[in-house]
């Protein structure tokens, strides 16, 4: 997947800026470190986010294990390997603890910088929505092997994407010609490649109840280099993160993510918080962003 070949609605225009909702304390951390943390997919707060993709993947894979599929591919001479390939998809998709090598990291943004449901979900007891210029964010993220994707909410579209993913790989396997590799080894490498793609889709499949959040995600993968990871702990879990620098060393001189504005969420001192937010961003060397106050009353998120 690439930002130019978005898995979502290709007709949808790219927004000029995207907002990251966060608490005051994490907002301070972002500009102290000049980076934003992405999180390992498996450690997200809402496990239903990847379970939705698992459900879709399982349903479509079961369809491919039917007699009709066997009839279509029986003449290929590798049906046994295709059947094992599909069975492996079903087993692995339902066991995320086996995703040891699928180190996919993600961080969320929204087209809407003042949405009450997101203040409640991501910025309690008080917080901000940091508005970032979308183009500069994508350019800087690409240097760090992250790309931007729009979340997909509609069930019909999810099934279409997963069906195409499985069918494409089954077709490749069915045309296998043994040269320097056995059918088993070929199927194994194909499976690993496909499940990487699936893990990426799992980042952007969301329940249609959240469609109003208009969410986009930066998605990246790591080659297993644990040295680039950072960690924080909740009461019961140690969570790995991969930081995305706003001013990476690979960037051209003076290239950095542009901070367009900061929306101050519901709080009992919005004016003072706005002033402090402006000073924080300026102090980090990002120039003066626009500052505006949410329309949502403070009592709405208490």
Range of lowest pLDDT (56-60, 72-76, 153-157)? 72-76
**What's residue 93's pLDDT?**
66
**What's residue 55's pLDDT?**
82
Provide the token pair at 226. 């644990």
Range 233-258 average pLDDT: 87
pLDDT band at 298, cuts 50/70/90?
A: confident
Per-residue pLDDT tens over the stretch 249-289: 876 666 899 999 999 999 999 999 999 999 999 999 999 99
Q: CA–CA separation, 297 vs 293, rounded Å?
A: 10
Q: What are the boundaries of each domain within the chain?
A: 17-301
Asked whether 40 and 31 are in contact (CB, 8 A), the reply is no
Range 93-121 average pLDDT: 83
Provide the token pair at 82. 């295709």
Task: Please confirm whether the linkage preceding 125 is cis (ω < 30° from 0).
Answer: yes
**What's residue 42's pLDDT?**
82
pLDDT band at 301, cuts 50/70/90?
A: low
The pTM is what?
A: 0.85
Contacts of 2 (CB under 8 A, 6+ apart): 147
Q: CA–CA separation, 106 vs 301, rounded Å?
A: 26
Range 11-29 average pLDDT: 90
Measured torsion, CA atoms of residues 72, 73, 76, 82, in degrees rounded to the nearest 10: 180
Asked whether 64 and 162 are in contact (CB, 8 A), the reply is no
């Amino acid at each position: 997947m690439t930002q130019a070949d978005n898995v979502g609605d290709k007709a949808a225009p790219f927004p000029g800026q995207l907002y990251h909702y966060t608490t005051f304390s994490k907002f301070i951390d972002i500009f102290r470190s000049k980076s934003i943390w992405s999180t390992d997919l498996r450690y997200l707060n809402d496990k239903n986010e990847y379970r939705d993709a698992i459900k879709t993947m399982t349903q479509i894979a079961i369809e491919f294990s039917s007699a009709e599929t066997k009839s279509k591919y029986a003449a290929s001479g590798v049906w046994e390997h295709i059947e094992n390939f599909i069975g492996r998809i079903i087993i692995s998709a339902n066991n995320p603890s086996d995703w040891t090598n699928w180190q996919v990291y993600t961080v969320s943004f929204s087209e809407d910088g003042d949405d009450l449901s997101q203040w409640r979900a991501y910025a309690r007891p008080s917080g901000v929505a940091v508005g970032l210029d979308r183009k500069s964010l994508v350019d800087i993220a690409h240097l760090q092997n992250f790309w931007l994707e729009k979340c997909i909410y509609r069930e019909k579209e999810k099934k279409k994407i997963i069906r195409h993913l499985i069918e494409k790989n089954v077709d490749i396997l069915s045309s296998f010609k043994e040269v320097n590799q056995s059918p088993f080894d070929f199927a194994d490498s194909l499976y690993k490649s496909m499940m990487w793609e699936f893990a990426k889709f799992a980042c952007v499949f969301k329940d249609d109840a959240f469609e109003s959040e208009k969410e986009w995600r930066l998605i990246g993968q790591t080659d297993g280099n644990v040295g680039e990871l950072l960690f924080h702990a909740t009461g019961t879990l140690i969570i790995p993160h991969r930081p995305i620098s706003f001013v990476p060393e690979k960037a051209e001189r003076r290239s950095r993510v542009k901070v367009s504005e900061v929306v101050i969420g519901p709080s009992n001192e919005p004016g003072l918080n706005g002033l402090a937010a402006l000073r924080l961003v300026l102090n980090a060397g990002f120039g003066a962003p626009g500052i505006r106050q949410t329309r949502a009353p403070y009592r709405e998120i208490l």
